[in-house]
Each structure stands twice: as structure tokens, then as C-alpha cells.
Amino acid sequence: MKKTIKLILFFMLITVISLIIPNFSNAATLVHDEESLNNAISSADSGATITLQNDITVTKPIVIAKELTIDGNGHNIVGSNSWTSTSGNQTMFTAQFSAAKLTLKNIKLKNGPKYGVQSYDGATVILDNVSISGFKYGGVLANGGNVEVKDLHLGYNGTGSNNGIEIDKGSAATNNPTLTMNGKLTTESNQNVVRVAENGYLTEFTITNTPNTTNKVVVAGNKVALTDSADNVIAETAIPDKVTANADEQKVIISIVANGQTNKITVDPGKTITADLLKSHIKLEENQTIDGFYTDANFTTAFDFNVPINADTTVYAKISKVETTAPETNTPVKDETPKTGVENYLGIAVLTVLFSTIAIICMKKKYMKG
């Protein structure tokens, strides 16, 4: 009996250990400087998580070829002014080849000679609560790889002009780049938030929007546009000739001109729009009203809402100011007739006669009873 109990306890102990060991193996590795970060990346098993304990300054590119999560824990990784190039690569984080899947979360990347992060030739980069700013070439590079945006804030990146997310394909890459919008993208500059490169090697790219994404990246004619949850266009850039865009969201851009300002929205191609839709995107000043919508700035040709929209279209809203008048008030007319007092005397006389009549009747009744 005792032997049986010991065997049961032994197998229970083995089971507990087998359950605990994976938890230890998947526990996050804590790093505090560039050396410990690089050592942790080199020794990490696929699927591991590395967590920053403080801000870290790095002096050279970091290349990852496995599945790995780097949790910044709210800290910064900053590029040093003394930067060392590695085989021409000067991007801070590079996930390369199909086996690589890098998730960056709760982290801020700042300053570098090229890009903040790139996915190269089949690799995947997931950006979750990430801020990227101060990189001279751009914030994110989808270089024949896959980029998924869950929560990304783009500061100003680029020299001369901003460059947020660049869709590109290098000469040695064999895969076409993809961009998946799966959350929220905010930016400090509306210039080149999503830009399609023109280098001769990129011939095709794919954009996908998940059902729960706040921002969408859509293709409208020969442009790629970033929109908000109300379909307002935040930014748009041209798609180079001879580049094919595969997108789950094909749209048409409507430019609404009102009060000297232009607001752009996206709508489904091949469908009609309504005046109410346009009005919902126009901010009127006090006492203003919309008189109608036209196809020209001189308001000579009314816009036909019965015609489906199949190409980018500009609509002009005719605005006028409503003149308001003060409400009328009914002020009683003052009686200017001089008062003589006759009316008062007449009232007293009537009352006197009334009371006298009553008194006589009462006395007569009393006399007749006596």
C-alpha cells in the first residue's frame, strides 16, 4: 500500500514539474543595456519574450531571424550618434526571412540613420503600442516583408520630407510586401504616412484591413490613402506606374469644397451618394446654411446624386448666411386719455343704488311680518 502511494506521489510530482518547466522556459528575459539585449536575442528560444528594464542606447543594427517579442515596458531604445553599419544595413531592428516574426510592444524607437524597423523578404513585424520618430529614411520599411499595425504612432521620420511606412522591395528580395491594418495608426504629420516606393524592383503589394481596425489603408484609383473611422482621408500618396496594388478596400475619393476648405472622404465605387452624407462632413459657421451642391466653383451645374461615382470627384457646396431678425414683442399701448374721475364716481353711484334697493326690500319684508 505504501509503495502504491509513493508511486502515485512520484507521478504527481513529475506532472507538476512538467507543467512548471514550460512556464519557466517562456518567462520573459530582462535586459538593461545593449549588450544584454543582444545576448538575450542570440540565446532566446523561438517564441520567447525579452523585456526592457530601462531605456537602452544601441550603436548598431539588430537583426532577428526567429519568432521573438520585445516588450519595451514603456521604455525607449535610442540610436547612438556613434552608429556602426552592418553589411550596409543601418536599420535599428530588422526581421529577416520567412522564419522571422518580430513583435515590438510598449516601446518607443528614437533616432537612427535609416529606418526604425523593417520586415525583409518574407519576415513579419507586428507593431503594438509602438512609437517611432527621428529616423532619417523612414519609420517602418516593408521590404518584401509583412507589417501588421496594431497600435502605432509615427512621429516625424525622414530628411526633407516625412516618410512613415514605406512599402518597398529590394533587389535581392523574393517576396512581395504586405501591410495589414489591425488597430490604430496615428501620426504627427499627414505627409507620406503610407508611401509606395518607386525603385523598379517593386511590382506588386497587398493591403489588408481587419474588421476591428480603426484606421484603414485603401486604394483609390492610382493612390493609396489612409483613412479614419469616419472615412475621412488623413493622407494620400500616389502609386507608381507599373505597380499593382492588391487591396481588400477599393475606394473613390470625394473632395468636398466648402467655406474655402477641402475635406476628402472615401466612398465605395459604383454607388450613388447622398446630400446628407456630404453635409455630415461639412462644418458650418454660425447662421450658415447649405443651398446646394454643384460640380463647379461658380455653382452653375448642380451635382446629380442619381449618377454612380466611379472616379475621384470634387463637389462644391454653396453656402449662404441666414439673416436673422429680432422677434416681435407685443407691448401694451399706453392709454394717454386724461383721467377725469367720472368713471370712479359712476361706479360709486351704482353701488349706492344697489345697496339702497336691498335695504328697502329687507325693511318692507320686516314690516309685512309685523
Percent of the chain clearing pLDDT 70 (strictly above): 80
| pLDDT value of residue 308 | 97
Q: Which three cell numbers stand for residue 171?
A: 533587389
Picking from 16-20, 181-185, 229-233, 357-361, which range would have the lowest pLDDT averaged per residue? Answer: 16-20
| pLDDT value of residue 155 | 97
Q: What is the helix (H) or strand (E) element at residue 285, kind and residue range? A: none
Question: Strands across the sheet with 115-120, in order?
Answer: 62-64, 93-96, 115-120, 138-143, 165-168, 194-196
**Segment 278-332, tens digit of pLDDT:** 999 999 988 999 999 999 999 999 999 999 999 999 999 999 998 766 565 565 5
DSSP class of residue 89?
A: B
Q: Which three cell numbers stand for residue 300?
A: 452653375
pLDDT band for position 38 (50/70/90)?
very high
- Burial class from Cβ neighbours inside 10 Å (0-12, 13-18, 19+) for residue 273 reads buried
Residues in the chain: 370
Report whether pLDDT(19) > 90: no
Report whether pLDDT(361) > 80: no
Q: Under DSSP, is residue 251 helix (H, G, I), strand (E, B) or coil?
A: coil
Report whether pLDDT(49) > 70: yes
In CATH, the architecture of 251-325 is Sandwich (2.60)
pLDDT band for position 334 (50/70/90)?
low
**Segment 104-122, tens digit of pLDDT:** 999 999 999 999 999 999 9
Q: What is the average pLDDT across 51-61?
A: 97
Report whether pLDDT(346) > 50: no
Q: What is the average pLDDT across 143-150?
A: 98
| pLDDT value of residue 18 | 47
Among 71, 158, 44, which residue's Cα sits nearest to residue 112? Answer: 158
How many whole angstroms from its chain centre is CA 131? 15
| pLDDT value of residue 162 | 93
| pLDDT value of residue 26 | 52
- Say which residue, 361 or 242, is predicted with more confidence: 242
User: What's the mean per-residue pLDDT of the chain?
Assistant: 87
| pLDDT value of residue 332 | 57
- Burial class from Cβ neighbours inside 10 Å (0-12, 13-18, 19+) for residue 319 reads middle
Q: Under DSSP, is residue 367 helix (H, G, I), strand (E, B) or coil?
A: helix
The Cα 192–Cα 235 span in angstroms is 7
Q: Which three cell numbers stand for residue 65?
A: 531571424
Name beta bridge partners: 58.
Answer: 79
Tell me the whole-structure pTM to 2 decimals: 0.80
